[in-house]
Amino acid sequence: MASGETIESYVPSRLDGLPWSRWHWLIVVALGATWILDGLEVTLAGALGGILTRPDTLGLTAVEVGASATYYLIGAVIGALLFGYAADRFGRKKLFFITVAVYLFGTALSAFSWNFASYAIFRALTGAGIGGEYAAINSAIDELIPARVRGRVDLMINGSYWVGAALGAIGTLILLDPQRLPVWLGWRCAFGIGATLGLVVIFFRQWIPESPRWLMIHGRNFEAEKIVAEVERLVDGAAPGVRTEIFPTRIRTRTHTPWREIWNAIAHEHRQRSVLGFVLMLTQAFFYNAIFFTYALVLMKFYGVPEQNVGGYLLPFAVGNVLGPIVLGHFFDTVGRKKMIAITYGLSGFFLALTGWLFYAGMLTAQTQTLAWSIIFFIASAAASSAYLTVSEIFPLEIRALAIAIFYALGTFTGGVGAPILFGWLIGTGSSAALFAGYLVGAILMILGALTEVLIGVPAERKSLEHVAAPLSSRL
């Protein structure tokens, strides 16, 4: 089909009308594994932070441990922007394999680091693969999942980050045990966990089709309709009471979206939504990266936890983060996006401030500190996941992956990149008052995110993506 031809396609409404099936579970497993990989990488870096300061490993300083996390995030920012644009231009499916291959290469090389510089470079490469995954995979998932359950599914997938975190914690408990492996070897073997999972992900992704919505926009509606028909055949038709009215989406096909149109859509036409996406991503990025990347250092510095035991403290923390989106996700589709996002952001900020004060007052132990953070992040995990859900819903189809990339990059760069270095420095001072001040900054930012959602949030629950944000090519 030629570019510029006007068509009517039933692809979006047919996808939204599908009953939940094993095919959707395949999508969740094959594409949602991105967050497991990221959680694994972040946990490995956090749990290995103390080990890598030893002279028989890499001999890093506390500041260099924080800086290595910053390099990972810088790589994620660059990867998100590069691969996000590519996903909108060349298709979601092609990027499925490229981004995970970059991740595999980076995490495997991390095991062979010989000093801070090499470790930082390899972590940046690993981050580039994960950042690209966020853009390409988030857009594809939203375009394949029915509208009525998009919120809870997105949150649960994002929450699977903490399944990776739990795997990383268990892995480090085993591999960093000097009775099993010498320390100089155990930390290198830990990175093999990510490489192994990455190979499994590649295997499953071979059965995932190109996004029919992307094909529709790019003049390949026949292919899109064929994919949807095959999916409908696999799920054996719609379940009673599931399908809604099927209606056409009228668009003008295109090969690509010009940069001028991209800029106009993000900076002018959807300016308020851009502010919303930026604030939600920035605040949760600072909140998470400040605390989690330096979690091991806090336990070791202020509570005297041996570095080989840090993984055990990460497990309850990970469990709280996994359960949050599972328990709360349903309400983002029923109670609504605006209310639930505002509540989870606000409560996360309030409880972090309270826990920070208890820490400053010396009223916590390593166990109660972990319990408090587990409760906080039960809520904060749903909040952070809703930021990714928001930016993947509120922009037009033609620029969805790039929009995810831009706001992930902006939020991560402004809210996340400096946070590990800042908190690494605060921890290095040994001052509980200084660290409490850092926690207060994180709390205030989350409350700011809640207020922003109240003022300009988008009620996207149970609505088709085309209704939330009309395609640019639908303006005939």
Alpha carbon 177 to its chain centroid, in Å, reads 30
Which string of b and e fits 374-384 if b means at least 16 CB within 10 Å?
bebbbbbbbbb
Quick check: 217 and 9 in contact, CB under 8 A? no
- In this prediction, residue 329 carries a pLDDT of 92
Residues 376-392, mean pLDDT to the nearest whole number? 92
pLDDT score, position 475? 64
Residue 416 has pLDDT above 70, yes or no: no
Residue 54 has pLDDT above 90, yes or no: no
pLDDT confidence of residue 244 = 57
Average pLDDT over residues 36-45: 77
What are the pLDDT digits (tens) for 149-169?
999 998 988 888 878 877 777
293 pLDDT band, cuts 50/70/90, is low
- Residue-level pLDDT at 238: 46
Q: How sure is the predictor about 273, in pLDDT bands with cuts at 50, 70 and 90?
A: very high
Residue 240, pLDDT score: 45
Q: How confident is the model at residue 245 (pLDDT cuts 50, 70, 90)?
A: low
pLDDT at 450 (0 to 100): 97
DSSP 380-432: HHHHHHHHHHHHHHSS-GGGHHHHHHHHHHHHIIIIIIHHHHHHHHHHHHT-H
pLDDT of residue 241: 42
Binned at pLDDT 50, 70 and 90, residue 243 comes out as low
Mean pLDDT of all residues in 11-18: 89
| Residue scoring higher pLDDT (187 or 9) | 9
pLDDT of residue 237: 54
Residue 281 has a pLDDT of: 92
Q: What is the mean pLDDT of residues 421-444?
A: 86
Given a cut of 60, whether residue 227 has pLDDT beyond it is yes
The confidence score (pLDDT) of residue 460 equals 94
Q: What is the 3-state secondary structure (H, E, C) of 111-125?
A: CCCCCHHHHHHHHHH
Work out the average pLDDT over 38-43: 76
Q: What is the mean pLDDT of residues 381-397?
A: 92
Mean pLDDT, residues 320-340 taken together: 92
Average pLDDT over residues 472-476: 73
The predicted structure's pLDDT at residue 1: 47
pLDDT reading at 143 higher than 70 = yes
Mean pLDDT of the chain: 85
What pLDDT, on the 0 to 100 scale, is given for residue 7? 82
Q: What is the pLDDT of residue 378?
A: 92
Q: Which of 116-120, 309-313, 359-363, 376-380 has the lowest mean pLDDT?
A: 309-313
CA distance 225 to 198: 31
pLDDT of residue 37: 81
DSSP secondary structure string, 87-149? HHHH-HHHHHHHHHHHHHHHHHHHTT--SHHHHHHHHHHHHHHHHHHHHHHHHHHHHHS-GGG
pLDDT at position 456 is 97
- Buried b / exposed e over 316-344, threshold 16 CB at 10 Å, is bbbbbbbbbbeebbbbbbeebbbbbbbbb
Query: Is residue 118 within 8 Å of 58, Cβ to Cβ?
Result: no
**pLDDT score, position 390:** 95
Q: What pTM value is reported for the model?
A: 0.84
